[in-house]
Every structure is written in structure tokens, then in C-alpha cells.
Amino acid sequence: MPPRQIGLPQMDLDAPRLLAHCYLFELDRFMEQRSQKNYARFMDDIDAGTDTIEEAKRLLRDTDLVLQSRSLRLNAGKTKILSAIEAFQHFRVRDTRVLDKIESYLDSLPKGAPAADRALSIFARAVDKKYSQGYFKNGNGEKILKRTIGILNKYSFRLPDALFAAVVRLHPNLRDSALRNASICGFRREEFQAVDSVFRLGLVCDDYFRMVLAKRLVEAKIHYDGTEVASLKGILDVFPLDEMAPAYGALWLLSRYGLPTTLFSAITRCERIWMNDETLSRLVAGLWPRLAEDKTLAPKAANYLRNRLLPKGQSLLEFHLDIATVSTGYSRFKSILHAKNDSLPLKCGHDKFLMIQSVLRSTSAPTGDKAKLEKIHTQILTEPSYAMGGLL
């Protein structure tokens, strides 16, 4: 693969992980042949231990030579040689052990028990206080903070408001973890306002945050207090329909929160983009179940899409039409559609929900199977934005 000056968009793909393995497997092999026992690599983050400073310098030299064979170099600004004491402090070994004990204790408590809620509340307040004191600024402090957010996510416990706002504003690497917390616990006006401030302050420098935000909002629980419509409209304002990645995010958001007419209007407004991109064409085709909710709009939308979708989009559109009309269309995916996903806030992914919509509208799927689907996925089917067919 020749070197390029333009990177791949990360979005929700495994591209960075795949590229790291493709480029750095030779370094892993070099370390193995060298019998380098104290070696760890996560993506392009490399750690290695030696007995002496001289050996560390030789290892750095050899590592850089291996990387040069792949047209890569070590980042001098991030490369450090640490003593054992410095490494202990930098890697926050004590903090890791403390978090291990906390997580083990929480695992030992019955789920939902008062003791668990009390422990999580104490833990969340302690993390909030430590953050305000600058505790996570040094060494691997940000990684420790990420793990603490992960623990709160694991037990569905909300981040303190001030900490959530600080993380999404000041820690780009932790934004997804914080947004996942809001997704699990429910987006409220406070979370929407914190996200809005990130855009108003000009702290978004690429499309990655927009894509992560769209993903987390589409899978999220929402707290309905009368402000959610204005909040969602404000979010959509930062997803311009004349650019590929933001258009993708806007359409995905509207596929949950938009009325069929609102969604169709957005699709027509950005047709110049998705008519020339296979990925976006497939996305638009996959939104057919939402458009089909409006019986007046459906024939017009079907003709519109058939005349404009690229081949892969055409195939996906026909897939949804088959599920809704052909008996074998549903039976092939019956086991998948009947499975819950407890890792998601609504126990069902939005993409699966779109398929379920097609099945429930089907003239060929057995009535008993439809009833079973409705029972299994009651949580998502009765969620207000889904039950009302959109909010915007």
C-alpha cells in the first residue's frame, strides 16, 4: 500500500485497528524473534520494558529501523524512556489496581441492589472531585478516566453533569465513552446543552465527533421533558446535507427522529451526494421502512428511489421489499430478528428495528411471529419517537 497524505475516515469502522495490524505485524514479529517479553501494542501505542537504559536505547533504534521499512517513524514527541518508578507513575499502576478492586466489588453485588447504587454514587462523586483537582492530567490519566467512565457505563450509572460536559468539551478521545453513558442512561437537556457547547465553541475539527454523536443518539434512550424536539433540531443544524459524512449522520438521525416526510425531504435535498456514493446509496435504501410508514408518500418514494439508487442500494431496497411481501424473505432472518441485544439501551439496534418494521408490515409473515416480535421488542416499539413515527 503506497503512502498517502490523506487519511481514512474512521466513522464507526475498524479501519484504524486494521491498518495498525497491517503496518505493524512486522514489528510484532521482530519483538517475538528478539524474545522481547515486556512488550505490548494497542493499535499504534507501543510499550516495551528493558533492564537497562542502554538496552532501551538499542531497542528504540531497532524499532525505528523496523518501522522505517514500512515508511513509518517513531513519534519523537511521544517517545520516552522511563525508570521503573517513573513507569509505575506514568502507567498509573496503583489506579489500575484500585479500579480492579472497585469493579470486582461491584460485580459481587446483586444487580440493582441499593448497595450497588450507593457504591456507584460514591464512586462517581469521587471521580468528579478528582477530575476537578486535575488528578487525571498526568501520564495515562486520560486512560484511567476512560476506564472509570466504562465502569459507570457497565452498570448504567450516569456521569455527573459537570464531568460529562468537561469530557465532551476537552477530551476528544473520550467523547464516545461519555456519549455512550448518555445513551445508556438517557439523553436529557443537560447532555444536549453540553454537546451544543462543543460546536458553539468551535471544538469540532473533523467529522468523527458528528458520526459518533449520530450513532449514540440513534441508539439512545431519551428523557422526554418537552425540550427534546428543540434539542434534536439544534443537533441537526450541525449536520449539513451538502457534505458526505454529515449528510450520512443527518439521514441516520432522521431515520429515527424524523417523520417520513421530513426524512424524504432530507433525502431529496442531498441526492447529489448519495447518488454518487455506494455507501450513502445503501444507507438511503435501508431507510425505506420509515418512508413506507406514510402510505401516501410510499409510492412516490419507491419510484424516486428506484430511479436514483446505485446497484448496491437497489439490492437493499429489494431486500426490504422482499421481507414485506415474500414469505422466504422473512424466514431467512427470523432467528436474528427475534434475538434481543442487552448491550444496547433499547435492547434492539436501529438497523434491526428497520427490518422488524418491514416484517410487521409483511403480508406473508405469520401473525404469531409478528406478535412474538412485538412482545420481544416491546421496549423499542413503545419508545415515544418510534411509537409516534418520528418527532421532527
pLDDT value, residue 250: 95
DSSP 187-225: B-HHHHHHHHHHHHTT---SSHHHHHHHHHHHT--B--S
Reading the block at residue 279, the C-alpha cell is 455507501
With H, G, I as helix, E, B as strand and everything else as coil, classify residue 40.
strand
Query: In the beta sheet, which residues pair with residue 47?
Result: 40
Q: Can you give the pLDDT at residue 1? A: 33
Q: Could you state, in order of their start, the residue ranges of all structural domains in the chain?
A: 15-71, 93-222, 239-392
Phi-psi label, residue 16: left if phi above 0, alpha if psi -120 to 50, beta otherwise: alpha
Residues 20-79 have pLDDT tens digits of 788 788 888 888 888 777 888 877 888 888 888 888 888 888 888 888 887 888 887 788
pLDDT for res 328: 61
Q: What is the pTM of this model?
A: 0.85
CA angle 104-179-152, nearest 5°? 15
The DSSP secondary structure of 96-158, one letter per residue, reads HHHHHHHHHHHHHSPTT-HHHHHHHHHHHHHHHHHHHTTTTSSTTHHHHHHHHHHHHHHTT-P
C-alpha cell at 208: 468523527
Cα 203 from Cα 238, distance rounded (Å):
12
DSSP readout, 317-334? HHHHHHHHH-HHHHHTTH
CB 119 within 8 A of CB 109: yes
Give me the pLDDT at residue 176, please. 94
Residues for the chain: how many in total? 392
Find how far residue 71's CA is from the centre of its chain: 31
pLDDT of residue 380: 92
Q: What are the cell numbers at 190?
A: 443537560
76-85: burial string, b at 16+ Cβ within 10 Å, e else: eeeeeeeeee
**What is the reported pLDDT for 329?**
62
CA distance 74 to 67: 7
| Phi, psi of 192, deg, nearest 5 | -60, -40
SS3 78: coil
Residue in this structure with the C-alpha cell 448519495, named with its chain if needed: 274
- Rounded Cα distance, 142 and 175, in Å: 12
pLDDT per residue of the chain (392 residues) written in tens, 0 to 9: 334 444 444 444 566 777 778 878 888 888 888 877 788 887 788 888 888 888 888 888 888 888 888 788 888 778 888 888 888 888 888 999 999 999 999 999 987 788 999 999 999 999 999 999 999 998 889 999 999 999 999 999 999 999 999 999 999 999 999 999 999 999 999 999 999 999 999 998 888 899 999 999 999 999 999 999 999 999 999 999 988 889 999 999 999 999 999 999 999 999 999 998 888 899 999 999 999 999 999 999 999 999 999 998 999 898 888 877 766 667 777 888 888 888 899 999 998 999 888 888 887 778 888 899 899 999 999 999 999 989 99
373: its cell numbers: 416480535
pLDDT for 14 equals: 61
Cβ proximity of 290 and 263 under 8 Å? yes
Report the alpha-carbon distance of residue 189 to residue 165 in Å, rounded.
12
Strand-pairing partners, residue 307, are none
For the chain, the C-alpha Rg in angstroms (whole number) is 24
Q: What is the pLDDT of residue 265?
A: 96
pLDDT in the model for residue 112: 78
Rounded CA gap, 88 and 94, in Å? 8
pLDDT at 188: 96
Q: What are the grid coordinates assigned to 48, written together?
A: 516495551
Q: How far apart are CA 346 and CA 300, in angstroms?
A: 32
**CA-to-CA distance for 131 and 174, rounded, in angstroms?**
14
Only one residue has cell 403480508, namely 363
Q: Compute the half-sphere exposure of residue 32: CA atoms within 13 Å on the CB side of its CA.
A: 7
Note whether 143 and 136 are within 8 A (CB): no
Q: According to the model, what pLDDT value does residue 210 have? A: 92
- Tell me how far apart the alpha carbons of residues 161 and 352 are, in angstroms, rounded to a whole number: 32
Handedness of CA 57, 59, 64, 65 (dihedral sign): positive
At position 88, the amino acid (one-letter code) is F
